[in-house]
Amino acid sequence: MNFKGRDIVSIKDFTKEEIIHILDVAEKMVPIAAGEEKSELLHGYIMASLFFEPSTRTRLSFEAAMKRLGGNVIGFAQPGTTSIMKGESLADTIRTAESYCDVIVMRHPLEGSARMAAEFASVPIINGGDGAGRHPTQCLLDLFTIRRETGDIEGNKIALVGDLKYGRTVHSLAYALALFKAEMVFIAPPELQMPSEVVDECRKMGVEPEIKHSIDDIEDIDVLYVTRIQKERFPDPEEYKKVAGSYKIDMETIKNAKDSLVIMHPLPRVDEIDPSIDSTKHAAYFRQTFNGVPVRMALLSLVLGVIK
Amino acid sequence: MKELKVQPIKDGTVIDHITPGNALKVLKILGIEGKEGSIISIAMNVVGKRGKKDIVKIENRELKAKEVDKIALIAPNATINIIRNYEVVEKHRVVIPEEIIGIVKCPNPNCISNSNEPIESKFVVVSRNPLRIKCYYCEREPNMDEIDSLII
């Protein structure tokens, strides 16, 4: 399997076998990501980190990934200090950045921006989120977390909870889970339920997702993937409070849950998971955050051709 | 073409087998307003061998491939007949290309193709029957019932 020079724009660009390979490489990176082992694997390589939009986890974990492997990082965390403020196009910014680096990681507010950047750049582009669009490295780290926490992706019953309509990262995750034939339950208020095209796509891939509106019965769930319900989706603040409150995960919600239940969240969270959950063994969201580093190490090493 | 209730033309293009009711949209897409001076004949809901259809005849204009692609989006079964001196010299069905470039505007205002970047809009065909296309950049699928309003 050769990833050298490949762009990471959308999870749909990858086969199941390729995803498994990325996760296998990530597994080997864990001790380095944790700082237990030192590595100079990417010594002499430069990653440009172009963040046109705010980010905490994605940007920091990419930079940590590069530096843990002995590589260097250039770039910006906000476009305010660059020629973009003078009206420079993204295409020109990409053509400029690629002459200074070996790989570009970018986040941009417009959907499809990473796909366009990939057309202009000769170095690999890694999409760190394009607006409300795709976020493939999040999807990969979610899959990696499910595998690490439960031993496999297949064979799990995974519930996606919260805003399933607008969060397109959940759409990609549903696609990827269907690829692995995981059982899925979509739990959301009717106005934020998974779009029918995503449900249809899962069906076409041979997975029939269960649609639910309540988090009351989660006894048979292996993984609870919680997402944030955004206030701005509701015209009436009272309605928001009511809906958000009824999807909050607390000790009461999980009282009948499996002992092995894994709770995940891409973070940032507001109050969809009660802090009392944090100290339980179910809480995997901070481990999930850590997993961003080995997964991104794997991607950087693969697209730079240092690992095959 | 005896069954057609409009006169034959000497030179130009006959677009036959247009999805019934879409003839006016075809003219709109071609940018034909009737002020060009040449004769334009429209027949709507004509009963042909394969059921109802619309027909448009445009005198003194031979359609170019890119224009034909545009028609394919709203009338996928249309046939294009190029007429010279009352004879059909070319006849072919419209073909929806694998990639539709610079013809349809992405309906997503947050799509990079609607910004000032030096790129043309680009759509890829998801399925041909029924016709579904998606933006190459943001992957949004336009509603095909409203596709004529998105044609550039």
- What does the pLDDT average to over B82-95? 92
Residue B1 lies in a domain: no
pLDDT in tens, A257-288: 999 999 999 998 888 999 999 999 999 999 99
In a domain, B126, yes or no: yes
Q: Which of A10, A91, A111 sits opposite B110 (nearest CB)?
A: A111
Please determine, for residue A252, whether its predicted confidence score (pLDDT) is greater than 70. Answer: yes
Nearest CA in chain B to A9: B137
Residue labelled with tokens 């949209």: B25
pLDDT of B66 above 90: no
* CB-CB contact of A39 with A69 (8 Å): yes
Same domain as B79, residue B137: no
Instruction: State the pLDDT at residue A61.
Output: 97
Closest CA to A137 of A29, A39, A1, A13: A13
From B44, B76, B93, the end of a domain falls on: B93
CATH number for B124: 2.30.30.20
Identify whether B4 is part of a domain: no
Give pLDDT, residue B86. Answer: 93
| Burial group, residue A204, by CB count within 10 angstroms (0-12, 13-18, 19+) | exposed
pLDDT at residue B3 in the model: 54
Residues B80 and B127 in one domain: no
Query: In chain A, which among 205-264 make CB contacts under 8 A with chain B?
Result: none
Give yes or no: residues B75 and B28 share one domain.
Answer: yes
Q: How many residues does chain B have?
A: 152
Q: Which residue of B has its CA nearest to A119?
A: B119
Domain identity same for B138 and B80? no
User: From the list A89, A130, A132, which residue is nearest B116 (CB)?
Assistant: A89
**B76 and B119 within one domain:** no
- A115 contact residues in B (CB cutoff 8 A): 112, 136-138
Residue B54 lies in a domain: yes
pLDDT of residue A141: 98
Listed in sequence order, the residues at least 6 apart from A204 whose beta carbon sits closer than 8 Å to its beta carbon are: none
Q: Phi, psi at residue B130, to the nearest 5°?
A: -75, 155
Residue A297 pLDDT > 70, yes or no? yes
Mean pLDDT value of segment B100-106:
90
The beta-carbon neighbor of A111 closest among B116, B138, B141 is B138
Tokens at residue B125, please? 């065909």
| Burial label, B49 (beta-carbon count in 10 A; 0-12, 13-18, 19+) | exposed
pTM for the predicted model, two decimal places = 0.87
Q: How many domains does the structure of chain B reveal? A: 2
Indicate the average pLDDT of chain A.
94
Q: pLDDT tens digits, residue range A64-92?
A: 999 999 999 999 998 777 777 778 899 99
Is A91 in Cβ contact with B112 (below 8 Å)? no
**pLDDT: is A209 or B128 the higher one?**
A209
Assign residue B21 the CATH number of its domain.
3.30.70.140
Contacts of A198 in chain B (CB under 8 A): none
Contact B40, B29 (CB under 8 A): no
User: Closest by alpha carbon to A114, among A247, A234, A235, A9?
Assistant: A9
Q: Could you give all domains of chain A from N- to C-terminal order, each with its CATH number? A: 11-134+289-303 (3.40.50.1370), 137-288 (3.40.50.1370)
In this structure, are B106 and B84 located in the same domain? no
Residues B23 and B55 in one domain: yes
Do B29 and B76 lie in a common domain?
A: yes
Of B93, B116, B133, the one marking the end of a domain is B93
Query: How sure is the predictor about B5, in pLDDT bands with cuts at 50, 70 and 90?
Result: low
Give me the pLDDT at residue A55, please: 87
Q: Mean pLDDT over residues B60-67, rounded? A: 81
pLDDT score for B43: 93
The answer to whether the CB atoms of A133 and B139 lie below 8 A apart is: yes
Q: Is A131 touching B (CB cutoff 8 A)?
A: yes
Average pLDDT over residues B84-104: 90
Higher per-residue confidence, A188 vs A230: A188
Q: For the residues A225-249, what does the mean pLDDT come to?
A: 86
Q: Is residue B92 packed enough to be buried (19+ CB in 10 Å), middle (13-18) or exposed (0-12)?
A: exposed
SS3 A96: helix
- Which residues of A are known catalytic residues? 57-58, 86, 107, 135
Burial class (CB in 10 A: 0-12, 13-18, 19+), B34: exposed
Q: Which of B46, B67, B68, B64 is nearest to B55 (CA)?
A: B46
Domain membership of residue B50 (yes or no) is yes
Residues B65 and B107 in one domain: no
Domain annotation covers residue B106: yes
B16 and B89 both lie in a single domain:
yes
Please give the biggest Cα pair distance in chain A: 57
pLDDT grade for A142, boundaries at 50, 70 and 90: very high
Grade residue B35 by pLDDT with cuts at 50, 70 and 90.
Answer: confident
Tens of pLDDT, residues A26-53: 999 999 999 999 999 999 999 999 999 8
- Domain of residue B115: give its range: 99-150
- Flag whether B60 is in a domain: yes
Convert chain B into a string of H (helix), E (strand) and C (coil).
Answer: CCCCCCCCCCCEEEEEEECCCCHHHHHHHHCCCCCCCCCEEEEEEEEECCEEEEEEEEECCCCCHHHHHHHHHHCCCCEEEEEECCEEEEEEECCCCCEEECCECCCCCCEHHHCCCCCCCEEEEEEECCEEEEECCCCCCCCHHHHHHHEC
Nearest to B30 by CA among B89, B83, B71, B87: B71
From B61, B128, B145, B68, select the one nearest B103 (Cα to Cα).
B68
| Band (B6; pLDDT cuts 50, 70, 90) | low
- Let me know: does B131 contact B125? Beta carbons within 8 Å: yes
Q: Specify whether B67 is located in the same domain as B136.
A: no
Claim to verify: residue B39 and residue B88 sit in the same structural domain: yes
Domain stops at, among B93, B109, B137: B93
Domain assignment of residue B28, yes or no = yes
